[in-house]
Amino acid sequence: MPITIPHPHISTLARICRVRDLIRDCFDEPITLDDCALEAGLSPWHLLRSFRAAFGETPKEFLTRLRLERARQLLTVTTRSVTEVCFDVGFSSLGTFSVLFKRHVGRSPKEFRRQVRGWVSVPGTTPWAFIPCCFAYRFGAFAL
């Protein structure tokens, strides 16, 4: 028989939504469970249980997911090094970042960047275009 976790009370839900917003606004800074509990006015363990019941993940899992989503964006559209991206999104250890990134994305940050660069054109740059020579001649790209 599956274990059911009771849904949080409406007043508790408002408090944990404030915590979710705090994490979302400050994901690149060090945030502890105690910080979140203080924001919600709940004990750390009550917050942990209520957050998981409401959102399906713990505050730490939510924080990690946000950081990794932002890291994916930065690796896709910037030329910053993997180390710089790691610190930009709030991780304090390159090793931890790389392990979590590979676990969640399925590739190391470097492999992800290499793969994704072929799929995405960065805003403000012109992607390579292959134009048949006959079109180029017809529309004046080459003088005869």
Same domain flag for 2 and 25? yes
Q: Per-residue pLDDT averaged across 42-70, rounded?
A: 94
Same domain flag for 114 and 92? yes
Same domain flag for 2 and 41? yes
- Residue 130 in this model has a pLDDT that exceeds 60: no
Number of folded domains that form the chain = 2
C-alpha to C-alpha distance for 28 and 86, rounded to whole angstroms? 10
Which tens digit of pLDDT belongs to each residue from 62-118?
999 999 999 999 999 999 999 999 999 999 999 999 999 999 999 999 999 998 877
More confidently predicted of 30 and 8: 30
Which tens digit of pLDDT belongs to each residue from 9-28?
677 888 999 999 999 999 99
- The CATH number of the domain where 85 resides is what? 1.10.10.60
Residue 88 lies in a domain: yes
Tokens standing for residue 53: 């019941």
pTM: 0.74
Same domain flag for 70 and 112? yes
- Contact yes or no for 100/68 (Cβ under 8 A): yes
Task: Produce one character per residue of 93-128: b if its CB has 16 or more CB atoms within 10 Å, e if not.
Answer: eeeebbebbeeebeeebeebbeeeeeeeeeeeeeee
- Residue 137 in this model has a pLDDT that exceeds 90: no
Q: What local confidence, expressed as pLDDT, does residue 34 receive? A: 94
Q: What local confidence, expressed as pLDDT, does residue 116 receive? A: 85
Q: How confident is the model at residue 7 (pLDDT cuts 50, 70, 90)?
A: low
CA angle 52, 99, 36 (to 5 degrees): 30
Q: What local confidence, expressed as pLDDT, does residue 124 receive? A: 59
3-state secondary structure the chain: CCCCCCCCCHHHHHHHHHHHHHHHHCCCCCCCHHHHHHHHCCCHHHHHHHHHHHHCCCHHHHHHHHHHHHHHHHHHHCCCCHHHHHHHCCCCCHHHHHHHHHHHHCCCHHHHHHHHHCCCCCCCCCCCCCCCHHHHHHCCCCCC
Name the residue range of residue 2's domain: 1-56
